[in-house]
Amino acid sequence: MGLLKSVDGPRIDVNDITTFEYYGSDDSTCATTPALCTYRKGDLRKTIDALGRATEVLGYDPQGRPLSVLDANGVVTDYEYTARGWLTEGNELKYCYDRFGQVVRMVQIVAGKSFTLNYAYTIGGHLCTVTYPDGTTVDYARDARARIKEIGVRPYGGTRPVLLNNAAYEPFGPVAGWAYGNGRTLNRTYDLDYRPKTIFDTASGGLSLGYGYNTVGELTELKDGLQSASLAGYEYDTLGRLTKTLDGVNPMETYSYDKTGNRKSLLRGGITDAYVYPTTSHRLSSVAGVARAYNTVGNTTSVGGTAKQYVYNANDRLSQFKQAGVIKASYRYNAIGERVATTGATTTVIDTYTLYDESGNWIGDYDSAGAAKQQAVWFGNAPVGLVVGSGGTQTLHYVQPDHLGTPRAVIDPSRNVAIWSWDAKSEVFGNSPPNQDPDQDGTAFVFNMRFSGQRFDAASGLIYNYFRDYDPGTGRYLQSDPVGLNGGTSTYGYVRSNPLLAIDPYGLQDTLEPLSNLGRRTDIPRLSLESQVSAKPLSPAGKAHLDRGCIGLVSLYQRLNVKIPEQAPGTTCYVSQPRAEAAATCKNPTIFAKQGHWRRGRPTPSASGQIPNDSVAGGKVNPGYFNYVIYFQQTDTYAWMNHEVQANQSANPQMASISPEPPITYDDYPQEMWCVTCPAPPKTPTPQGSAK
């Protein structure tokens, strides 16, 4: 049948083979009662990792979506979908939708505790209110172009203070600043390439940062917000990896790397820490003489013998942290991989429950009784507010994020002073603690947000980074990248060693930027496209995708290394763009169109609106040709490319089109289908390569 049977990892000293088993025949009910058919010949049945742990799909619905999954711990996770194909329930998560496919309620249940988020939308479908589990309501007022202009926060039973207002925007989208409710302002400026230039709040304790770049777009200087004083300098190697941080002309840290991007050494304060690796893998053996150990699948199990010990569950998620064999913390996850509960060392009672929104942003922490500890307020992908406490003791604080959305200051609006700060000049990989008492009043303010998607865990000293755990002391993850080599050749590394320009909110790989239109269609050359896709140079794999033209542009953003986008796992197709957008309920969807002609005539949609993924074939005149268009919801932008790399590039250069409107279909491509890819992050290494 041509199905993948196994993936053999790079290790030659141990068995690190992942095997796949498939159903050899249709379920017996398929012939007599198709509606009750739970699997068909060729459906994936079981995945067995290198430790012999099996994950089995017990059944699928008629659209090929998993209904029940048995993991290696014997836990069965059941999934339910609406008639339109939206997930309604998975393990301890429940979703409710309105008739437009928008999530209006999410309920998370952990150990009998229920936490609910409610959403409301404008007539145009834009978010207008979020109600938190404790009844706190955050409302978003918008301008005529539906951009957020004001955010208010109303504690349950309380009055509504303004968190921020008078939000202003640059002509082509980025926010140019806002005023906080107490009158202080945060201004953001950009250079002609729309790169961040300054972020400044002139009030006491406010954020004040400026940025300088070299000719290839690398961030080379950190200044104050007035651009008058240099705070730090940065140097890079030819691959864009950070090699040196400078205080004036004096080095603060110096980093070196091997040929695959693993850190070889760190020189700081006159002391060099050597990083040692075996010749057979990317697994770090020791740092400064302190040994590290791993299990067969590449998860770090100890640092310094029994000084730090890490235990993992069947899904390769960190489940316990120990010291000298004594449990210091235990962790629990929901069905989509979010850490939702933490238990301390001295009790089996959950100390902290944690909740996230539909984008994976941290919403709040709650105590053992379910009362709120801290809850975050978001402006896009950046935190701007923090509600502390519960009931009548709640207080609202302002959060000031930098150019990457990293919080750098927390302001007490009543006293108008900073009560927490994380110096942007500190160690760039996050290995410096924040100042928890900058106002020197003797009271430490604890706030655990770090880089985008990260939260500090005091028990282990690690940083939870959604699907992996980050060690800021080494600038690496404890686990190899689940997406394999798509995340870079150094599968444990963080954002390809450039934390000044890249983020990794899900712990999978550094992010690609959504393309933005300029209010009209613009055609740009390949190199300009690359610079807009990523702030860092694209990897060889990324460049190879774009070599294939429009189809490769879609594959690049899918991040699944599948040559035909509509064949990618987790992809469903529809007859219209609105249908595809309504199905895009995951955290990082890829929405795209394939233009050509109907392969078997116009398809009849199923009850969920789906059509077969192979409904569109190539053009009528040129059957081998077709067009792919990718759509970015965040920026309301369409993008496509003219063709693959040609033999004579000077005569036939690759060009990309970026537009607020989709391209029209024409004679050779008269029909189109719209698809959405919502893949679940893989548990096991993917076939494209999985160096450990």
- pLDDT band for 506, please (50, 70, 90 cuts): confident
**Does the structure show a pLDDT above 50 at 681?**
no
pLDDT value for 441: 97
Q: Is residue 303 part of a domain?
A: no
Q: Is residue 189 part of a domain?
A: no
pLDDT value for 477: 97
User: How many residues appear in the chain?
Assistant: 692
Output b/e per residue, 550-571; b: 16+ Cβ within 10 A: bbbbbbbbbbbbbeebbebebb
Q: Is residue 580 part of a domain?
A: yes
**Does the structure show a pLDDT above 90 at 40?**
no
Closest to 607 (Cα-Cα) out of 579, 585, 586: 579
Report how far residue 184's alpha carbon sits from residue 517's, in angstroms, rounded to the nearest whole number: 32
Closest to 615 (Cα-Cα) out of 632, 630, 593: 593
- pLDDT band for 511, please (50, 70, 90 cuts): low
pLDDT value for 632: 92
Q: What tokens were used for 166?
A: 């008078």
Contact 28, 19 (CB under 8 A): no
Report how far residue 24's alpha carbon sits from residue 395's, in angstroms, rounded to the nearest whole number: 60
Closest to 261 (Cα-Cα) out of 476, 505, 427: 476
Mean local confidence (pLDDT), 400-424:
97
Percentage of the chain beyond pLDDT 70 is 89
Q: What tokens were used for 614?
A: 């192979």
Mean local confidence (pLDDT), 651-668:
82
pLDDT value for 85: 53
**Does the structure show a pLDDT above 60 at 689?**
no
Contact 542, 526 (CB under 8 A): no
**Does the structure show a pLDDT above 60 at 102?**
yes
**376 vs 652, residue with greater confidence:** 376
Mean local confidence (pLDDT), 498-516:
82
Mean local confidence (pLDDT), 481-500:
81
pLDDT value for 75: 62
| Neighbour-count burial of 621, counting CB atoms closer than 10 A to its CB (0-12 exposed, 13-18 middle, 19+ buried) | exposed
Backbone CA torsion sign across 343, 349, 352, 358: positive
Report how far residue 639's alpha carbon sits from residue 655's, in angstroms, rounded to the nearest whole number: 11
pLDDT value for 369: 94
486 DSSP 8-state letter: G
- CA atoms within a 13 Å half-sphere pointing along the CA-CB vector of 260: 19
**Does the structure show a pLDDT above 50 at 586?**
yes
**Does the structure show a pLDDT above 70 at 286?**
yes
Q: What confidence tens digit (pLDDT) does each residue in 604-641 have?
A: 998 878 999 999 988 776 777 789 999 998 788 999 99
Sorted by sequence, the CB contacts under 8 Å of residue 145 that are 6+ apart come out as none
Mean local confidence (pLDDT), 387-413:
95
**Does the structure show a pLDDT above 80 at 649?**
no
Q: What tokens were used for 624?
A: 């081998």
Contact 434, 420 (CB under 8 A): yes
pLDDT value for 90: 42
- The residue out of 60, 81, 102 marking a domain boundary is 81
- pLDDT band for 648, please (50, 70, 90 cuts): low
pLDDT value for 171: 77
Q: What confidence tens digit (pLDDT) does each residue in 543-578 have?
A: 888 989 999 999 999 877 778 899 887 899 999 998
**Does the structure show a pLDDT above 50 at 656?**
yes
DSSP 617-665: ES-SSSTT--EEEEEETTTTEEEEES-S--S-TTTS--EEEEESSPPPP
pLDDT value for 685: 32
**Does the structure show a pLDDT above 60 at 83?**
no
**154 vs 124, residue with greater confidence:** 154
254 DSSP 8-state letter: E
- The residue out of 48, 81, 114 marking a domain boundary is 81
**Does the structure show a pLDDT above 60 at 176?**
yes
**Does the structure show a pLDDT above 80 at 80?**
no
Report how far residue 370's alpha carbon sits from residue 357's, in angstroms, rounded to the nearest whole number: 17
Beta strand ranges found along 132-229 (DSSP E): 137-142, 148-154, 162-169, 175-180, 185-190, 196-200, 208-213, 219-223
Q: What are residue 77's DSSP bridge partners?
A: 69
Least reliable range by pLDDT among 193-207, 251-265, 388-402, 472-486: 472-486
pLDDT value for 535: 62
Mean local confidence (pLDDT), 131-144:
96
Report how far residue 195's alpha carbon sits from residue 665's, in angstroms, rounded to the nearest whole number: 35
528 membership: H or E segment, kind and range:
helix 526-533
438-419-427-512 Cα dihedral, nearest 10 degrees? -160
- pLDDT band for 647, please (50, 70, 90 cuts): low
The alpha carbon of residue 622 and the mean position of all alpha carbons in its chain are separated, in whole angstroms, by: 39
Report how far residue 284's alpha carbon sits from residue 287's, in angstroms, rounded to the nearest whole number: 8
- The residue out of 47, 81, 115 marking a domain boundary is 81
Backbone CA torsion sign across 487, 493, 498, 499: positive
Q: Is residue 635 part of a domain?
A: yes
pLDDT value for 645: 81
Average pLDDT for the chain: 87
- pLDDT band for 672, please (50, 70, 90 cuts): very high
**371 vs 64, residue with greater confidence:** 371
pLDDT value for 137: 97
- pLDDT band for 683, please (50, 70, 90 cuts): very low
Q: Is residue 670 part of a domain?
A: yes
Residue type, 651: A
**301 vs 525, residue with greater confidence:** 301
Q: What confidence tens digit (pLDDT) does each residue in 239-256 have?
A: 889 999 999 889 999 999
Overall domain count for the chain = 2
**105 vs 146, residue with greater confidence:** 105
Q: Is residue 570 part of a domain?
A: yes
pLDDT value for 684: 34
pLDDT value for 213: 92
Q: What are residue 458's DSSP bridge partners?
A: none
Report how far residue 582's alpha carbon sits from residue 572's, in angstroms, rounded to the nearest whole number: 11
pLDDT value for 376: 98
**Does the structure show a pLDDT above 80 at 692?**
no
Report the DSSP pairing between strands 271-276 and 263-268: antiparallel
Beta strand ranges found along 548-644 (DSSP E): 571-574, 590-598, 610-611, 616-617, 627-632, 637-641
77 DSSP 8-state letter: E
Q: Is residue 205 part of a domain?
A: no
Q: What tokens were used for 148?
A: 């957020």
Cβ atoms within 10 A of the Cβ of 607, count? Answer: 10
Q: Is residue 321 part of a domain?
A: no
- What residue numbers bound the domain in which 67 lies? 6-81
pLDDT value for 552: 92
Least reliable range by pLDDT among 263-272, 331-340, 435-444, 459-468: 331-340
**Does the structure show a pLDDT above 50 at 28?**
yes
